[in-house]
Chains A and B, each alone.
Chain A
């Protein structure tokens, strides 16, 4: 059955009921009972509004600001987001009529795009020039999809809203405004006060409806600008390079992990994203021992002499329950005399890959020059790629068993509230390192990682919780790293694919002239 037939049947069915309604209304009016029954409206609508508010929490709070920036956003992203917020705020000062003009939306989006692009590539003349078509389409697709979703969520009946009606909203005569707003007023309700006032004033308060209407249009505009801005940022930071599909999948995880970090439970099982933890430190600091303590196995080679010579990867299964896949990178120690350049490169590669860095330091040596230099280097690496978020660095002080009094080792020690000399020394060492390296570290955790003699302490008690606390941030880094890697990889792969296509076509035209020239559908 086609649509018009359905409409026809519906009209035939509903027409008598409509006639009754009109006739009833007229009858009520004439008998003077109209005003009595009028109270039904507030009596029903008020509980309806309350219930709706109760059942759909976000129903009443369509956020104008849109999503707060993700945990993974870099400082540059946040800077760009401020531009978006400014644009949203300007919506309030724009004449209502303009919102109804699709050109206006398009122009605003273009303007915003230019301004955001400036944040990312200050000198570029044509900011879109270096973007792939896929990226720009992705922005459009994602932004529109989500604006649509928002409007559908918050404005029931918006499916039937035509552009003409939209336009009417801005310049229609009052009666039409009223009539069209009445239906929405009940359910839009993002300004519930208006609803009650609307009702109480017996359809007589022009200013209220005007405000409602203004809100409606401005809000829709702000939603649109917010979404466009958001994805423009995502595009400019290179995260859309691998297309919308992949982006969406990873973002779903990101939001799950945010919830997890906030103490929620994992509901949907997303494909876990790999968080890379680089364990770096001076030679013999106890990196391999620490990894063994973390994974609960004697897998990594630990020795009194320099042992680790190249980067090794280990899975941290304890993190699986947090729905993330952690990989620990054991690296060769630095500071040894005659370290090869290969070792140095290995450390650098690990630092480049890392989403979280554990800087392992032997507590009973004050020589921190080498560690400080590595932190500087990490900093430089991160400055060189603003499209990725700086990985947080967690300082780990090992060998706390050798702090004064050296003859004593009887854990547990509660160093945060020291009572004995050992605890005081641990606290002092932590404070000293905080003061020395503080600004570059997300935290400092003291441990004894002497797994070989079963003397470890603090790894599960302090280190793991500290790492989990950085889970959200580390995952943010991971998402950016993965998107960046895939984007680059994908681009080359696709480029090669296209080259191959071109090559094939050339071959065909050159060597197989018949087939080459004749379009397939012309043959046969």
Chain B
């Protein structure tokens, strides 16, 4: 304990191990929402996880054979810096699977429940019964019902060009069969769920023009359902990703947001300066991560090149192993706002820098300086805007 304080005051960088411990502490404090996917086997739980997180390791089944054989935890964007967590549970109704234990385990931890049901499926006793119990224990926890596999209502046809579900929950333009089934699902889940979103995420190789039919509605609804405390970071992500078209940048943004949020949490302690080593370590990790996303090797040289224009001091401690060898003292973060803004700005500037490197040209120091400044101001403004409603800092 004393060592920690001493290190902090003397500005000693943390070791990797220390950093991890610290990070876990932050994550415990940081509001990372846990979304629990619950539904019959083959109802599209994994498809939704994959759609929302882009996680390649989330394996989607063929429909007739249960695919997810043990319940899995997915951290988005990754375990070290999660923005949101998904539990992809094993499918209900699978032969010889008693879900009681899983249900109990996740029931206590989940912040939002996402129930997946194929829209034309009427054999739902296996879903309704546990859901009823779960809902009963915590009626205020939001539950979202996702009706999947819309295409089963119109075999061998494309999805409607115009999304009819934007305006009406049970649109008149869809076929009568689909409408009646929707109606029945609404009745069936009355009082058990808060929102209902019909989607179809059947993969493009099946021949659908739109493989993410209703996907944006799903994202929006999820955000609306998240408790306020959890909403901020995800809203920020939504916001910053919306205008992005470049694949790497889209991938990188979750990290930027996540590390910025962690930095804010780390700095949100009453004693100023105490957590500066943590914040700097987080920033170093972010840069390292982004380098991976952009497939740019990170070495002392890159850091030096970047650190100078960004205006921070660079501490190179040979004694410390790993990434933490290169800790740029970028963010002199005194409070949450600054920690967030500095980290965010740094991340964005890095993205820009790595993007240029990837494209083959090395940006000048002036250019980098300029980007960094503008991102920093934007980040600060952004933070204030988000938190002016009195949300926790």
The chain A residues found within 8 Å of chain B, CB to CB, are 282-285, 304-306, 333-339, 363-372, 401-409, 425, 428-429, 432-433, 436, 450, 453, 455
**Who on chain B is nearest to A425 by CB?**
B62
> Inside 8 A of A304's CB, which chain B residues have their CB?
120, 153, 177, 180-181
A405 touches B206 (CB 8 A): yes
B126 touches A370 (CB 8 A): yes
A366-B41, A367-B42, A370-B126 known; A406 and B207 CB under 8 Å? yes
State A370–B152 Cα separation when bound (angstroms).
22
B206 touches A406 (CB 8 A): yes
State A308–B293 Cα separation when bound (angstroms).
56
How far apart are A279's CB and chain B's nearest CB, in angstroms?
16
**Who on chain A is nearest to B183 by CB?**
A305
14 new A-B contacts, CB < 8 A, other than A305-B180, A336-B125, A367-B94, are A283-B122, A334-B123, A365-B64, A366-B65, A367-B91, A367-B126, A369-B94, A369-B96, A406-B206, A406-B207, A407-B206, A429-B64, A450-B155, A453-B155
> Inside 8 A of B124's CB, which chain A residues have their CB?
335-337
Q: Which of B118, B129, B181, B207 contacts A365 (CB 8 A)?
A: B118
Residues facing A in B174-218 (CB within 8 A) are 177, 180-181, 184, 188, 202, 205-208
State A87–B379 Cα separation when bound (angstroms).
97
A336 touches B123 (CB 8 A): yes
**Who on chain B is nearest to A437 by CB?**
B95
A365-B41, A365-B42, A368-B94 known; A335 and B156 CB under 8 Å? no
Residues facing A in B93-133 (CB within 8 A) are 93-97, 118, 120-129
**Who on chain B is nearest to A410 by CB?**
B156
> Inside 8 A of B153's CB, which chain A residues have their CB?
304
State A425–B65 Cα separation when bound (angstroms).
11
**Who on chain A is nearest to B175 by CB?**
A304
Q: Can you give 21 A-B contacts (C-beta < 8 A)? A: A283-B122, A304-B180, A304-B181, A336-B123, A339-B125, A365-B64, A365-B118, A365-B123, A368-B94, A369-B96, A372-B96, A401-B155, A403-B64, A405-B205, A406-B155, A406-B156, A406-B202, A406-B206, A433-B64, A436-B95, A450-B155
How far apart are B243's CB and chain A's nearest CB, in angstroms?
34
**Who on chain B is nearest to A282 by CB?**
B123
**Who on chain A is nearest to B179 by CB?**
A304
> Inside 8 A of B41's CB, which chain A residues have their CB?
365-367
How far apart are A455's CB and chain B's nearest CB, in angstroms?
8
Q: Is B151 an interface residue (CB 8 A)?
A: yes
A366 touches B61 (CB 8 A): yes
User: Which of A305, A306, A408 counts the most chain B CB atoms within 10 A?
Assistant: A305
**Who on chain B is nearest to A433 by CB?**
B64
**Who on chain B is nearest to A339 by CB?**
B125
User: Which of A304, A334, A455 counts the most chain B CB atoms within 10 A?
Assistant: A304
Q: Is B63 an interface residue (CB 8 A)?
A: yes
Q: Which of B94, B123, B205 contacts A284 (CB 8 A)?
A: B123
The chain B residues found within 8 Å of chain A, CB to CB, are 40-42, 61-66, 91-97, 118, 120-129, 151-153, 155-156, 177, 180-181, 184, 188, 202, 205-208
**Who on chain A is nearest to B189 by CB?**
A337
> Inside 8 A of B97's CB, which chain A residues have their CB?
369
**Who on chain A is nearest to B122 by CB?**
A284
How far apart are B153's CB and chain A's nearest CB, in angstroms?
8
How far apart are A503's CB and chain B's nearest CB, in angstroms?
52
> Inside 8 A of A366's CB, which chain B residues have their CB?
41-42, 61, 63-66, 91, 94
> Inside 8 A of A333's CB, which chain B residues have their CB?
122-123
A372 touches B95 (CB 8 A): yes
How far apart are B237's CB and chain A's nearest CB, in angstroms?
32
**Who on chain A is nearest to B158 by CB?**
A407
State A436–B121 Cα separation when bound (angstroms).
22
How far apart are A424's CB and chain B's nearest CB, in angstroms?
11
> Inside 8 A of A305's CB, which chain B residues have their CB?
122, 180-181, 184
> Inside 8 A of B63's CB, which chain A residues have their CB?
364-366, 402-404
> Inside 8 A of B94's CB, which chain A residues have their CB?
366-369
> Inside 8 A of B184's CB, which chain A residues have their CB?
305
> Inside 8 A of A339's CB, which chain B residues have their CB?
125
A409 touches B129 (CB 8 A): no
> Inside 8 A of B126's CB, which chain A residues have their CB?
335, 367, 369-370
User: Which of B62, B93, B122, B180 counts the most chain A CB atoms within 10 A?
Assistant: B122
How far apart are B289's CB and chain A's nearest CB, in angstroms?
36
Q: Which of A335, A404, A409, A436 contacts B125 (CB 8 A)?
A: A335
State A339–B126 Cα separation when bound (angstroms).
12
State A91–B320 Cα separation when bound (angstroms).
96
A336 touches B122 (CB 8 A): yes
State A258–B226 Cα separation when bound (angstroms).
67
A367 touches B93 (CB 8 A): yes
How far apart are B245's CB and chain A's nearest CB, in angstroms?
29
User: Which of B63, B94, B151, B184 counts the most chain A CB atoms within 10 A?
Assistant: B63
